[in-house]
Structure 1
Amino acid sequence: MTEDVTSLQERLDSQKSTIEAICKTAGVAGVSIGVLHGGEIVHTKHFGFRNVADKQQADGDTLYGIGSCSKSYFAAVAAALVEEGKLSWTAPTKTIVPEFNASSQVVKDEANMIDSAAHRLRLSGAFHLTFQGDGDHLIHTKDFWTYYTKLSSVTSLRASWIYNSHGYSVLGAQIERVSGRSLAQCLRDYVTKPLALDRTVCELDFHTTPNFAKPYAALADGTPYKLPCRQDFRGHFFEAAAGIYTSLNDTLKYASAVLEAASKLPLKADGPIRESDQLFTSHIPVVNPSFRERSYALDWIRTQLPGVVGVMGDNRRILPIDQLPVIGRGATPRLALYHQGATVGYFPSFYLFPETKSAVMVLTNSIANCDAADWIAQTMIQALFDDKDPIDWLELTRKFTRQCLQYYDDMQDEVRQKRQAGGPKRDLDAYLGDYYDNTGIFYIRIRRHPEKEDALQLEFQGLKKHAYQLRFFYDDTFEWTLSRDETAKRARYHQFDQEYFNFHFHSSDGTAMNSLTWHHDPMVTKPETFERGKSGGLA
């Protein structure tokens, strides 16, 4: 590292007040930040609390969930198995996992491991049937291959990029099939042991594991609300997609190993991270058009700076890509490899720069009112490379937080404006029953609300824990629109489309309902139909 270390550290330290203000504005309980430069750790810092009630601060060994940033670890596992000759990047998936199935015959016959890992299957990536808040998985692993066929084919195989965590479920199944070991054991054998990562796990007990950051979600006023649950991925089909919990110290070790491998392209790495020519090369463009490169490797987005980054997080959902900042202006052009993640109570943001062996790793323990983890990461990147065209990250946080909260207010306004006066024309009993999807493995129970005579209650999978008040909206449509605070307290991710919260009931004979439609998947034009089963008439 040729740069003056003192000057670099002063720039990084000078971001303290900005980061504290970002956390307060967006509602982040705690954050841990690490920076590598020239392959060396040049900065670590912890803000806020891993446990707000007890005022406990995080340290380098504090565990955080990393959600989708887990994918690169399991891609590295797959790469090691390829090098051992047990897996193939290009062999059809069905030759390894015969039960592999899909709604598209072409995907079923031709899809391979790179297609799954690079998100180019072009299947809908929505997961609203398996996750409805409160940290639970509503679809069990035993039903995965039946459930997987529900993912609609949006366009042809390899035509373009659609982010889809189910692809890593398929990759995980291939890893387990050829290795004869669990994903947790493979992670230990191929990643954590070789890299001496002693706080990186996907198989743990949330209640007994020490030094664990508590999970939070931000209320509308920015107050961190402690969540009673975490998402447990042990043995679930999303384990390879989002199941890892790790610490800042371990993420810095991991980043160093990845940088070492990525810096040797196009040659194969000779360290623990193998098959670098596949892991870090471009496999499909991401979010076109883009003047500079913006493509997907295997769980790393490649972006040439100056450019827009953070395109897979909540900030791009809050405002369009043309309102995201361009970083790297006034600095030396360089390649960024990055990924963002989310799980219940945790948002991370990982950035690597192979040319300078630099990294910015950010871990947070909050579902904030914007993707604050990514704004913090970009704040540190700007300081790291001393960009001469500085961006006001705090003002961006304020802007995106305001817009996020405005969406919730707008949904409530839409319901108030469109709700028909006078209530439903039918007796509420006409709507009662269990409504099943076309696989029979997911259903929505509609029953009388136990406390409100003029309302119904929906229960996903018939579970009282997953119940929501269902209110008359118009005609035969009922809604369960949530406020920001209700969303936060149920450990749900942001949902800004009011139509998502509408159930449209249908009757074939003009009396009792025989189906409902729900547009839960924005990638699919038509809403899904749920047919009423035989358990209607619930009181």
Structure 2
Amino acid sequence: MLEPAIASRLEKAVSDIEEVMQICQAPSISFGVVHKGEVVLRKSLGLRDVEGQLEANPDSIYMLGSCSKMFTAAAIGHLVGQGKMDWLDPVQKHLPEFDPIGDPEIGQKADIIDTMRHSTGLSDPIGLYLGPGNTILDDDERFVELLNQMPTSNDEGQRFNSYWMYNNGAYGLVSKVVERVARTRFSTYVKENVFKPLGMTRSVVARSDIDDNIANPHVQLDDRTFTKLPRQVLGCEENNPMLAVMGMGASLNDMLTWATAILSAERHEQQCREDEASSDEEGSPASVSNGSSFSSPERPIPNPLKYVSKVRKAYYTRPTKDRFQNDAAYCMGWLRLTMPSSMLGELSFNTMTKPDSPTHMLGQESPQRLAIGHNGGVMGSLSAIWTFPETDSAVVALANGRSIGDAADFAAQILIQALFDLQPKVDIVSWARKERDLTCSWFEDKYLQPWRSKYISNHDIPRRDSSAYAGRYQGFNGTYTFMIVPQSPKKQSETGSQLAIAFGHSYSGTILALYFADTDAYTFFPGSWNRWLVDSMPSLAYESSVLRFKWDETQSRIEGLWWICVDEKPSWFSRVGEK
């Protein structure tokens, strides 16, 4: 029976979440709470489909974004539990083709834990892999080859195991390990060995898992209308690297089931370790099973999850930016921290107001509390899950809108504060308003103004005929290709642009207009708030949208171009053919 005081606080939290939903322009939020191992709250607000006026419910499927990574880690744990691989196996043992050219030591030594704790030192190729409108730009088979070409160093030298860098591509690599070891598709392995045994029937790893009860991703335009975005990333079983990184989906009910199962397995493992320690002290031989649950016939495994404590162990310290300096570290698909901590929102998309100041940090006058969780997001969708092992508690929040701020993160923090009565109380609704206001001014100052100044002020600069730039361009040793193509007369009239860039291997649905920026420089920055919401690439800033072409005077032709696409340094793409 939930304590009346907790029930009252959670009930009041619902109105705050509804207000945050409006501020952050999300059509719906589904959220729930587990406490002492039991679900004590589950609720959905708003519309899963604005066009059809369909209400969200706890069975509606939301895109999970990076919260998919925790299921990828669970798949590895299951394979280790089956004795088919080990955590310290070098990735190259299972994928001999993994051999980054920038640092041979990565291929020789990087193990599974290095990969999932984000310490390989490889740059993240997500900007090359995920395109406008949730489109996937390249195919599954080329993924490892492309990853091998990623930069491995910065100005301080090689980064392997000396530098923490969040890398979506590393989890794509792990999906290929699962496939090689299990001898089946990654999507199939997750479905059969994680989702099905836990009864997670409203979780998605394949297109066929999707039905009409889906919380479609949306953005809200500046006229306050909602636009539905494509959901190509969701259930993309034909591209398992993307599936492992951010392509899974689940309902609120299933995520609450998942949180409960994680906490149960972790608690079971701890109890078994304590029993074995006690047995050792009495002189009895300890018996450990091949799996995380240390099972015996007398102590059955409560669920199929293996090595949960291993997965959620601290592996790479993440320094905090607050006065408390409590422990914080990345695990494998999870972030582990001790509250109060500014790291609670570090992986969220509330980028303008990261909780570095006392104003936005929960529980500064409350007892310390262990929290293990993660945030996720793709265009038009956001997720957050936090677990609290000491009280068998969890908070889940899912949103199908990503325009301004992270509604799922705000909702989760509202619920965490209410559940544990954290003091002093943070006004999270006001915090959300601040995030909204700062985002609007930031976009104007940092994105639109540079674009306008370049695009408008440079109209009088002499320029070459646009046909000089058309052609096929390849980079990263030929593993990534895109096209510069002439716009059709109709598109020229609509966009005011004569050229376009067609991204990726298939070029399907991934074309953006190019605008003159400077001598031999064009930008595909969308040029408006609405187009940025609908068409922007991951982490797209103005500078990373600029293509700087190189003119070869001796041959009177464009030789290639420089583009900032994977890290802070421009990458070279050779022109290999004309359109």
Partner of 1:218: 220
Q: How does 1:113-192 map to 2 (within 5 A)?
A: 113-154=112-153, 155-192=158-195
Residues of 1 paired with 2:112 and 2:458: CA distance? 51
Q: Distance in 1 between matches of 2:266 and 2:223?
A: 42
Query: Over residues 152-171 of structure 1, what are the superposed CA-to-partner deviations in whole Å (9 max), with x where a residue is unaligned?
Result: 11333221321111111221
Residue 429 of structure 2 is matched in structure 1 by 394
After TM superposition, give the deviation of residue 235 of structure 1 in Å: 2.6
My pick for the range that moved more, 500-509 or 348-357, is 500-509
The percent of aligned pairs where both chains have the same amino acid is: 27
Structure 1 residues 452-461 or 280-289, which shifts more?
452-461
1:248 pairs, out of 249, 252, 269, with: 252
Query: How much does 1:340 deviate?
Result: 0.7
Cα distance in 2 for partners of 1:405, 1:480 equals: 20
Partner of 1:414: 450
In the alignment, structure 1 residue 202 sits paired with structure 2 residue 205: yes
One-letter amino acid matched to 1:36: V
Query: In the alignment, which of 546, 551, 560 is matched to residue 507 of structure 1?
Result: 551
Matched, 1:298 2:332: yes
Is the 1:215–1:230 Cα contact (8 Å) retained in structure 2?
Answer: no
Moved more, 215-224 or 352-361: 215-224
Change (3 A) 1:10 1:76: same
Q: How does 1:456-471 map to 2 (within 5 A)?
A: 456-461=499-504, 463=507, 465-471=509-515
**Is this contact kept in 2: 1:231–1:344, CA < 8 A?**
no
Q: What residue number does 1:259 align with? A: 263
Are the aligned partners of 1:331 and 1:387 in contact in 2 as well (CA < 8 Å)?
yes
- Deviation track 1:290-314 (CA, whole Å, cap 9, x = no partner) reads 7111101111101100112121122
1:230 aligned residue = 232
Aligned partner (choices 74, 77, 86) of residue 75 of structure 2: 77
Q: Distance between the aligned counterparts of 1:9 and 1:113, measured in 2?
A: 42
Cα distance in 1 for residues equivalent to 2:104 and 2:222 = 45
Structure 1, residues 238-259: CA drift from partner, whole Å, max 9, x if none?
2222222111111111101111
User: What SS does the aligned partner of 2:20 have?
Assistant: helix
Letter aligned with residue 427 of structure 1: D
Mapped pair 1:370 → 2:369? no
Residues 441-486 of structure 1, C-alpha deviation per residue, up to 9 Å, x if partnerless? 4223223332337632222247363222212122221222222210
1:349-360 matches, within 5 Å, as: 349-360=384-395
Aligned to 2:542: 498
**Superposed CA offset, 1:330-379 (max 9, x none):** 32211000101113432110010000011000111122311121011101
Change (3 A) 1:346 1:42: same
Are the aligned partners of 1:477 and 1:504 in contact in 2 as well (CA < 8 Å)?
yes
One-letter amino acid of the counterpart of residue 402, structure 2:
I
Contact 1:160 1:284 in 2 (8 A): no
Cα offset, 1:319, TM superposition: 4.2
Task: Identify the residue that residue 518 of structure 1 maps to in structure 2.
Answer: 563
Superposition deviation, residue 494 in structure 1: 5.2
The structural deviation recorded for 1:264 is: 4.9
**For residue 286 of structure 1, what is the aligned residue in structure 2?**
318
Structure with more of its chain in helix, by fraction: 2
Q: Deviations over 1:416-447 (max 9, x none)?
A: 33432414332223222222113324223223
Q: Which residue of 1 aligns with 2:111?
A: 112
Segment drifting more, 337-346 vs 300-309 = 337-346
Amino acid at match of 1:182: R
CA contact (8 A) 1:346 1:367 kept: yes
Between stretches 73-82 and 423-432, larger displacement belongs to 423-432
SS in 2 for 1:134: helix
Aligned: 1:473 with 2:475: no
Q: 1: CA distance between counterparts of 2:71 and 2:61?
A: 16
Deviation at 1:22, TM superposition (A): 1.0
Residue identity opposite 2:253 in structure 1: N
The 1:514–1:319 alpha-carbon spacing in structure 2 relative to 1, beyond 3 Å, is: farther
User: Partners of 1:397 and 1:221 in 2: how far apart?
Assistant: 20
Alignment size in residue pairs? 529
Specify the alignment match of 1:96 in structure 2.
94
Q: Following TM superposition, where does structure 1 have runs of at least 4 consecutive aligned residues deviating by more than 6 angstroms?
A: none
Gaps of 5+ in 2: 274-291, 294-300
1:435 aligns with 2:473: yes
Name the counterpart of 1:489: 534
Q: Contact 1:135–1:229 at 8 Å: present in 2 too?
A: yes
Per-residue Cα deviation, 1:62-120 (whole angstroms, up to 9, x for no partner): 11111211111121121121122101100211112212222321111001111111111
One-letter code aligned to 2:391: T
Secondary structure at the aligned position of 2:373 is classed as strand
Change (3 A) 1:508 1:493: closer
Conserved 8 A contact 1:362-1:377: yes
Separation (CA, whole Å) in 2 of partners of 1:46 and 1:489? 25
Deviation at 1:181, TM superposition (A): 2.1
Q: Distance in 1 between matches of 2:365 and 2:135?
A: 46
Change (3 A) 1:299 1:373: same
Local SS of the residue matching 1:273 = coil
- Cα distance in 1 for partners of 2:95, 2:508 equals 36
